[in-house]
């Protein structure tokens, strides 16, 4: 197989658009998103038809490389989309794109947005052109004369230009909150990807080395079971999941999906996983779907395990307050969620002060928080924030065996704990 990365000097340069364009042209290809982002990789899936993995050693721990290699092993091409700018991560440890590219010897393409520059584009980009850079893609040029001015310094310095994308309104991907949106019709995303791909030259693929990933087994024999019925909420309100978390659950049991928005209920469930998403956008519908609400409440009261992350935690609280009013939800916890316009985004680190189905007292847990909401909840919490905001410096609400966190996690780090908790809860 062949593997390469996509990066840029700064965020908003067009990395995702280029990644989608390449995926639309490459047969039997997959993608990987560096960092904790859910939205970009959902757009990748729209074009490739494959559920991509994330690459994030903060969340995944020492097993990140094996997770990565396992995710790409059965494909002919893997496109690795970087996070923010090449050297950016905004984190307490090296989590930027160049770290992963260098660590695993991944060649990369630099996307250069030239909307406000001409010849200066090269001088901005040259600090981001390392020995692993195989060339640049010029994005957002205004016309042929502009493209000539932008291109000349790159060519004069021997930098290959692998494509040039003109500035067109029709190439813009929709945005929501911070970053791109999952709300656009899938047909529109695929159409944009195909149109942009016409401006790319794929000859560089011939010079890429063939590699054969040889991942180690991610799961020890005592971490697998297969006998548990696992139900995952999956619809427009709940769709933020890490693929390595889903694979972890597949090893533990049989994975099924249900939609709270469609008032669906699991059948003979042993474990319910409520992931992140946008429940605040659908709180009215969710509050009226009594069949689902009653089932999950009874499931929680019975002592079976529920894990809710961010949007899942919001759904587990008593109500969500939006500009359109207050809607009652599960009430497993007694807090109130308030939608607001203030972004909370951070890697998180927590010290566990009370045992939960996933974590044990004194564990140090790493996660990621991303939301435009706040929670007022004075209930018992199991984790003390060391990095990040959480809920007033705490996180990890507990009710019987129901656990809710404002942070997202990679379950691949905690599969053995979860399996043991399932054994004890049934």
* d(C-alpha 315, C-alpha 331), whole Å: 8
Beta carbons of 316 and 356 less than 8 angstroms apart:
no
* d(C-alpha 89, C-alpha 68), whole Å: 19
| CA trace torsion 407, 410, 413, 417 (10° rounding) | 70
**133 catalytically annotated:** no
State the DSSP code for 408.
B
The catalytically annotated residue of 196, 246, 310, 314 is: 310
* Burial bucket for residue 326 (CB in 10 Å: 0-12, 13-18, 19+): middle
* d(C-alpha 307, C-alpha 246), whole Å: 13
Strand partners, 368: 347, 408
Q: What is the 3-state secondary structure (H, E, C) of 202-219?
A: HHHHHHCCCCCCCCCCCC
Strand partners, 228: 253
- At 28 the three-state DSSP class reads coil
What is the DSSP secondary-structure string of 109-149?
EEEEE-TT-STHHHHHHGGG--TTEEEEEEEEE-SHHHHHH
Catalytic residue numbers?
Answer: 310
């Amino acid at each position: 197989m062949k593997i390469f990365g996509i990066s840029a000097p700064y965020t908003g340069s067009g990395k995702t658009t280029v990644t989608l364009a390449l995926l639309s042209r490459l047969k039997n290809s997959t993608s990987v998103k560096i960092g904790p982002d859910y939205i970009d990789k959902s757009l990748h899936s729209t074009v490739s038809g494959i559920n991509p993995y994330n690459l994030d050693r903060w969340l995944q721990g020492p097993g990140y490389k094996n997770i990565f290699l396992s995710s790409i092993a059965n494909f002919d091409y893997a496109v690795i989309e970087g996070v923010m700018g090449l050297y950016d991560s905004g984190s307490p440890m090296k989590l930027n794109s160049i770290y992963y590219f260098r660590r695993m010897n991944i060649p990369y393409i630099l996307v250069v947005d030239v909307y406000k520059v001409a010849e200066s584009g090269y001088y901005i980009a040259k600090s981001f052109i390392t020995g692993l850079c195989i060339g640049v893609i010029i994005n957002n040029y205004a016309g042929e004369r502009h493209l000539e001015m932008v291109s000349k310094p790159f060519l004069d310095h021997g930098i290959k230009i692998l494509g040039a994308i003109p500035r067109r309104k029709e190439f813009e991907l929709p945005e929501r909150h911070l970053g791109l949106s999952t709300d656009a019709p899938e047909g529109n995303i695929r159409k944009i990807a195909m149109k942009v791909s016409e401006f790319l030259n794929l000859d560089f693929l011939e010079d890429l080395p063939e590699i054969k990933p040889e991942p180690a087994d991610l799961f020890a024999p005592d971490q697998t079971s297969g006998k548990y019925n696992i139900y995952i909420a999956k619809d427009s309100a709940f769709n933020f999941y890490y693929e390595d978390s889903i694979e972890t659950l597949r090893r533990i049991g049989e994975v099924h999906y249900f939609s709270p928005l469609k008032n669906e209920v699991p059948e003979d469930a042993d474990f319910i996983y409520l992931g992140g998403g946008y429940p605040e956008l659908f709180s009215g519908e969710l509050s009226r779907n009594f069949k689902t609400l009653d089932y999950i409440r009874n499931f929680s009261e019975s002592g079976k395990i529920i894990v809710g992350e961010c949007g899942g935690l919001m759904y587990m609280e008593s109500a969500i307050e939006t500009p359109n009013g207050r809607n009652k939800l599960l009430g497993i916890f007694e807090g109130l969620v308030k939608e607001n316009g203030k972004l909370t985004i951070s890697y998180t680190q927590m010290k566990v002060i009370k045992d939960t189905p996933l974590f044990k007292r004194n564990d140090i847990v790493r996660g990621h928080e991303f939301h435009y909401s706040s929670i007022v909840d004075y209930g018992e919490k199991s984790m003390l924030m060391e990095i990040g905001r959480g809920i007033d410096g705490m996180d990890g609400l507990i009710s019987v065996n129901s656990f809710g966190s404002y942070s997202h996690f990679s379950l691949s780090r905690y599969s053995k704990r979860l399996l043991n908790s399932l054994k004890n809860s049934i």
